[in-house]
Amino acid sequence: MLSSSNLLVNCKWWILFLGMAMMLPSRSYGQLPLEEGESVKILFVGEIIDATIIARDKNRYNVQFTFANQEQTKVFERAQIRKLCEVNAIDFAKVWASSNGKFKIEAALKTFEGDKVKLVKTDETEIDVPIASLSDKDKTYLSKFKKQYDEAVKLGQVVAKYPSLPPIDDYGVVDPESFSVVVGEGKVSELGSMPSYLTTFEQS
């Protein structure tokens, strides 16, 4: 069974995975192909699974993975597979170029805020790049993508932003190491012990 934190991560990945698939089923914009032997992620029977590319036929890939303790081999479309750098991105990886054409990088778009974009490179490191420094082709791509993305957010196909977890103080935690909580008027008791205001209740 998944822990609550793993479930949250899984749900977030699920939404990204499905959102990308709904928004971008046939787009390419120079979408990076997958290489034989490459480690990837797939969504299979509701689970996010580690997999390996074993062969390619145009935009279809033969993928090997383990499910229910059994080795499996199945064919997936590119839209159903994520390179590792695409896992937390909002689009598939592509080649980005500088405005003068001297610099190029393979990366996936993670966020666009203000005058910068955050890209996830194929080695999974992240970089911030000023939009003004990108090629005209990349600027056009970002403009079109943002329109599509905003429309998908309006339709509820993808989330606009993941909320941050509230500060630990909001839950009355005084000492995370000892797992103490505030009970009543500033009194502290260990988690697991019965607060005084419940002692008058009988267990059903």
- Phi, psi angle pair for 101, to nearest 5°: 75, 0
For the domain 4-33+75-154, what is the CATH superfamily, name and number?
SLA1 homology domain 1 (2.30.30.700)
Do β-strands 94-97 and 81-83 pair in parallel, antiparallel, or remain unpaired? unpaired
**H or E element: which one contains 136?**
helix 136-154
For residue 109, give the nearest of 90, 130, 137 by alpha carbon.
90
What is the dihedral angle through the alpha carbons of 14, 91, 130, 33, rounded to the nearest 10 degrees?
Answer: 130
> How many residues appear in the chain?
204
Position 188 pLDDT exceeds 60: no
Residue given tokens 């993808």 in the structure block: 158
Tokens 């996830």 appear where? 120
Where is average pLDDT lowest: 40-44, 88-92, 155-159, 177-181? Answer: 177-181
Domain spans of the chain?
A: 4-33+75-154, 168-198
Angle, vertex CA 87, rays to CA 81 and CA 90, nearest 5: 95
- CB-CB contact of 174 with 188 (8 Å): yes
5: confidence class by pLDDT, cuts 50, 70, 90 = very low
In this predicted structure, the answer to whether residue 187 has a pLDDT above a threshold of 80 is no
Question: Is pLDDT at 191 greater than 50 in this prediction?
Answer: yes
Q: How many CB atoms lie within 10 A of CB 117?
A: 20
- Its pTM stands at 0.65
Average pLDDT, integer, range 136-155: 88
Per-chain mean pLDDT for the chain: 77
Mean pLDDT within 38-67: 92
Tell me the sheet residues that pair with 88.
Answer: none
Amino acid identity of residue 60, one-letter, is R
Backbone angles phi, psi at 17, to 5 degrees: -60, -50
